[in-house]
Amino acid sequence: MKNDDKKTKARRRFLAGGLGAAALGALAQGSTAGRRADRPVWQLDPYLCSQCGRCATECVLKPSAVKCVHAYAMCGYCELCFGYFLPGARSLDESAENQTCPTGAIRRRFIEEPYFEYVIDEPLCIGCAKCVTGCNTFGNGSLFLQVRHDRCLNCNECAIAAVCPADAFVRVSASRPYIFKGENDSTSGGLS
């Protein structure tokens, strides 16, 4: 009995030592990493996104934490916006049956002849990427999706990342949590 006790104690000391060493090692690794990148958060690379629609359906939140973002500086302010109007729209006005967006989340405003501004009404946007497809295929590609960090829960494994067919989701540093279009060289991914 006593002997057993001693053995258990020795084993315990060994294990505690091992755990301690592992913790120290991990801490050392973590602290050097701390300087390079702080906490990771999820983001999607708009240059990889194939607008599959899963961002709207797979997020653990309803509506999704992914929303459409407008890079205004890239926008042509076109009267005929391909993100805003459905192909075959009857007329270029604001009636719902002409709009790409299923929730009417894009607000169109006349600026001056012949320019119109398009603004995303975020609370209405569900991240379905329909407007993104339109803008990418026919327009300047200034509409794109982003994980919005005021909503995102930063799940340990993002439920969208797990199924994104374009592998567009990446962990990015929390200090630079967005990959915007038109900010860097517009032909390469925002990550470098």
Partner 1 sequence: MKGLLIAVVFLTLSGVATAPAAGAGRYPEPDFESGYVIPTATTPAPNAPSWEYLHLVVLAAVLAVTALLVLKVRYRAGVYILMIVSLAYFGFWRQGCICPVGSQQNVILGISDSSYTVPIFVIGFFFLPLVTAVFFGRVFCGAVCPLGAVQDVVALRPVRIPEWLEHALRMVPYVILSLMVLFVATGAGFIVCRYDPFIAFFRLSGSAFMVTVGAVFLIAGIFVARPYCRFLCPYAVLLSWGSRLSWLHATITPDECVKCRLCENACPFGAIQKPTPERIAEPRERGVKRLALLSLLLPLIVAAGMVAGWYAGTPLSRAHKTVYTAEQVYMEEAGLTDQTTLESEAFAAAGRPAADLYEDAEQVRGRFRRGGALAGAFLGVVFGMKMLSLSIYRQRDDYEINKAWCLSCARCFNYCPREQARRSGPREQDE
Rule CB under 6 A: is residue 57 a binding residue for ligand SF4? no
Partner from ligand SF4, partner 1, none contacting 22, C-beta within 5 to 8 A by type: partner 1
**169 vs 162: CA distance, rounded Å:** 9
CA 113 to chain centre: 34
Rule CB under 8 A: is residue 55 a binding residue for partner 1? no
Least Cβ distance, residue 10 to partner 1 (angstroms): 10
First to last CA, the chain: 62
Nearest of 89, 83, 166, 146 to residue 117 by alpha carbon:
83
Rule CB under 6 A: is residue 160 a binding residue for ligand SF4? yes
Rule CB under 6 A: is residue 131 a binding residue for ligand SF4? yes
* Residues from 96 through 155 that contact partner 1 (CB under 8 A): 111-112, 115, 117, 119, 135-142, 148-150, 152-155
Assess contact for 51 and 144: CB atoms under 8 A: no
Say how many CA atoms lie within 13 Å of 180 toward its Cβ.
Answer: 12
**132 vs 130: CA distance, rounded Å:** 5
The mark string for 137-156 relative to ligand SF4 (x by CB under 6 A, - otherwise) is: --------x-x----xxxx-
AA identity, residue 7: K
Residue placing its CB nearer to partner 1 in the complex, 77 or 104 = 77
**26 vs 19: CA distance, rounded Å:** 10
Per CB under 6 A, residues contacting ligand SF4 are 42, 44, 49-55, 59-61, 65-66, 68, 100-101, 103, 105-106, 120, 125-131, 145, 147, 152-155, 158-160, 164-166, 168
